[in-house]
Structure 1
Amino acid sequence: MAFVGSCGAFGTRSVAKRAPTARPSVVVAAPTPRMAWNIEGQDVEVSDYCPVGLAVCYQRNQNNKLDAVLVVEPLSTGTLENVTGTGQPTSYKRILGATIEGLPDNPSELPEDFLQGDSASFSEDFAERMCAAARTFKRRPISKGILGVGEVKTAEDGTLTFCTDGIQRILNEEWEPKFDDNVKQDKTIDVYGRGEEEGGAADVQKLYNA
């Protein structure tokens, strides 16, 4: 049956449905985790092992008195081996096994079982010292077994012998050399010829006294 309209006659016809156009799937890349530390140019990797310690240090105030401060420092193999289970007195209250990529750039973001409510700051030149410490574990990987990644050891569990008596670390101390600090050189190992000069002066003095 035909329909007549102003635009002419229209007949009935079947209309084929178009298949839906397949849209290309969009893959959203996972965000790259932000690295807290710039290690470009250093011979270390983000996955390298580098433990840290929470040290009790001191700063001298305007009244010439000492105020205790907490500092987070990277630990080398030598330090880690020396302070764990040896009974050696140390200024470290707690130590944490970590990797470079696992260390945040804000010390308050360190694990709670490491900080235990303490407020601390990173040591001076932390990134540089971190890379240097990590290199010691690359040379001596056996030391990684002392403290696993994410593991915390403390003085309370008997691992550390925390003590600051006689070993107070003063961060802003200025050392001025004194005359008494000079070591008198043995003339038998004189490499500057000062003994010869003294001998020559003595000979001249003899001539004056002749």
Structure 2
Amino acid sequence: MSSYRAMLCVVAALVLSCTSTSAFVAPTAARAATAVNQRSSAVSRSAVNSRQTQRRTSALCMEGQAAYLDDPMLVPLEDDDYVAFGLACCFVMNDNLKLDEYYVYEPLTAATLETIASSQSLETSYKRVTAFHAKDIFEGPPARPTGIQVDKLKILDGDVTAHICENPVERTLAAARTYKRRVEAQMCGYGDLLEGFNFSTERKRILNHKFEPSFDDNVKQDKSIDVYGREEEEAKQIADLENM
């Protein structure tokens, strides 16, 4: 009888052990499955967000490329693009602090050419202007030029000797692009010589002069921005002191 009870106790213990193990394993497996599902959902959301970001980026790139192609100021120059050059009368200061005339070949922007060619009341330092196709004035292709064919600018000389301006390639590229937006400013024919401007050197362009403000200049500037009437007030105070 005692052995029978012992067997029952062993069986009961085994049943309880299996039940508790199952009770422990089941929640653990459920939690593991839930974690896997959550990770899968997170990966799916990340993939969706990544695809959406890629689509938005692609759309922005396409918009930027379209804007680039539509903006004439950004696209490279072509062979037949319009380029205008002018002969400007400038000055340089010599070692004796005297001014010498110094003529310069300069590229003209659309605004400059249109202004000096259409307004005789406006004074300008330009004496003559001519125009070229881009392929005829640049050295190398206009999209990637390496220099300016200065010899072709001698048509502007007349009875003077001129020099090419500083940074001619960069300045010419920038100036030529302005005519892409204002075609109506191409007021000089290719190879023609445009003259008859209101030429004046009263306001001299001194190329090698560096302006350094003096004490008097600073005083003048201080007075020019005096919006509170301090000058009159100070003069009154000085007058009062003198009368004491």
Q: Could you say which structure has the larger radius of gyration?
A: 2
1:70 aligns with 2:70: no
Q: Secondary structure of the residue that 2:82 maps to in structure 1?
A: coil
Q: Aligned partners of 2:83, 2:152: CA distance in 1, in Å?
A: 17
TM-superposed CA distance for 1:110, in Å, is 2.6
Match among 126, 146, 155 for residue 92 of structure 1: 126
Q: Aligned partners of 1:149, 1:181: CA distance in 2, in Å?
A: 48
Q: Aligned partners of 2:176, 2:152: CA distance in 1, in Å?
A: 21
CA deviation profile, 1:168-191 (whole Å, cap 9, x unmatched): 100001112345448557899xxx
Q: Secondary structure of the residue that 2:104 maps to in structure 1?
A: strand
Instruction: Report sequence identity in percent.
Output: 35
CA deviation profile, 1:142-186 (whole Å, cap 9, x unmatched): 211x1111111112xxxx111111x11000011123454485578
Unaligned runs of at least 5 residues, structure 2: 1-73, 139-147, 229-244
Q: Aligned partners of 2:88, 2:177: CA distance in 1, in Å?
A: 21
1:162 aligns with 2:195: no
Map 1:1-210 to 2 at 5 A. Answer: 43-87=76-120, 88-103=122-137, 105-110=148-153, 112=155, 114-144=156-186, 146-155=187-196, 160-165=197-202, 167-179=203-215, 180-181=217-218
Q: Is the 8 A contact 1:77 1:143 kept in 2?
A: yes
Provide closer, same or farther for how the CA distance between residues 65 and 106 of structure 1 changes in structure 2, counting only shifts above 3 A. Answer: farther
Aligned length: 141
Q: Is the 8 A contact 2:105 2:162 kept in 1?
A: yes
Q: Aligned partners of 1:149, 1:77: CA distance in 2, in Å?
A: 15
Q: Is the 8 A contact 1:107 1:122 kept in 2?
A: yes
Partner of 1:22: none
Provide closer, same or farther for how the CA distance between residues 138 and 169 of structure 1 changes in structure 2, counting only shifts above 3 A. Answer: same
Q: Please, what TM-score do these two structures have when normalized by structure 1?
A: 0.59
Q: Aligned partners of 1:99, 1:59: CA distance in 2, in Å?
A: 31
CA deviation profile, 1:1-46 (whole Å, cap 9, x unmatched): xxxxxxxxxxxxxxxxxxxxxxxxxxxxxxxxxxxxxxxx973223
Q: Aligned partners of 1:46, 1:60: CA distance in 2, in Å?
A: 39
TM-superposed CA distance for 1:106, in Å, is 4.4
Q: Aligned partners of 1:170, 1:186: CA distance in 2, in Å?
A: 31
- Larger % of helix: which? 2
Aligned AA (2:199): F
Q: Is the 8 A contact 1:53 1:73 kept in 2?
A: yes
Q: Please, what TM-score do these two structures have when normalized by structure 2?
A: 0.52
Aligned AA (1:163): S
Which portions of structure 1, spanning 4 or more consecutive aligned residues, are displaced by more than 6 angstroms?
A: 185-188
Q: Secondary structure of the residue that 1:90 maps to in structure 2?
A: coil
Q: Is the 8 A contact 1:107 1:120 kept in 2?
A: no
CA deviation profile, 1:77-99 (whole Å, cap 9, x unmatched): 11001111311111111000222
Q: Aligned partners of 2:118, 2:95: CA distance in 1, in Å?
A: 38
